Amino acid sequence: MEEKEEIASNEPVVGNTNIVYVPIDKINVPAERVTSQFDAEVQKELMESIKQKGVLTPIILIEVNGELWLVDGYNRIRACEELGIKEIPAIIKKGTYQDVVIENLITARQKGKSNPYDEAKTLAFLVNKLGMSLEEARKQMGISQTTAIRYMKVATLPDEIFNICRANNVPITGAVFLTLLNDPEKQREIANDAVHFGYTSEQIKARVYWELGNKEKSQEVGYQFTATGEVQPVYPKCHFCHKDIVKDAVYIWLHQECKALIEEFAKYYWAPREETKHEEGEMQ
Residues contributing to the site for Zn ion (CB under 5 A): 238, 240-241, 255, 258
Contact 113, 84 (CB under 8 A): no
- Where does residue 182 rank: exposed (0-12), middle (13-18), buried (19+ CB within 10 A)? exposed
Please state, in angstroms and rounded to a whole number, the distance separating the CA atoms of residues 257 and 85: 77
Taking the complex as a whole, the smallest distance from the CB of residue 270 to Zn ion amounts, in Å, to: 19
Helical axes 134-141 vs 145-154, angle rounded to 10°? 110
Closer residue to Zn ion, CB minimum distance, 165 or 258: 258
Closest to Zn ion by CB, 243 or 278 = 243
DSSP state of 247: S
- Which amino acid is present at 257? E
Q: CA-based Rg of the chain, rounded to a whole angstrom?
A: 30
Amino acid at 254: L
| Closest alpha carbon to 178 in 159, 204, 149 | 204
Give min distance, CB of 240 to Zn ion, in A.
5
Burial of 65 (C-beta count, 10 Å sphere; 0-12/13-18/19+): exposed
Rank residues 263 and 275 by Cβ distance to Zn ion and give the closer one. 263
Residue 263 C-beta: closest distance to Zn ion, Å: 13
Nearest to Zn ion of 160, 257 (CB atom): 257
Question: Which of 197/240 has CB closer to Zn ion?
Answer: 240
Output the DSSP codes for 173-185.
Answer: HHHGGGGG---HH
Could you tell me the smallest distance in angstroms from the CB atom of residue 260 to Zn ion?
10
Report the C-alpha gap between 116 and 32 in whole angstroms.
14
CB of 232 to Zn ion, least distance (A): 20
- Write the CB contacts of 115 (distance below 8 Å, at least 6 apart in sequence): 34, 166, 169
In whole angstroms, the minimum distance from the beta carbon of 257 to Zn ion comes to 7
- Give me the residue whose beta carbon is nearest to Zn ion: 238
Closest CB to Zn ion among residues 81, 257: 257
Contact yes or no for 175/154 (Cβ under 8 A)? yes
Please, which residue, 42 or 241, has the CB nearer to Zn ion?
241
Minimal distance, residue 234 CB to Zn ion, in Å: 16
Task: Please give the Cα distance from 14 to 62 (Å, whole number).
Answer: 9
260 vs 271, beta carbon nearer Zn ion: 260
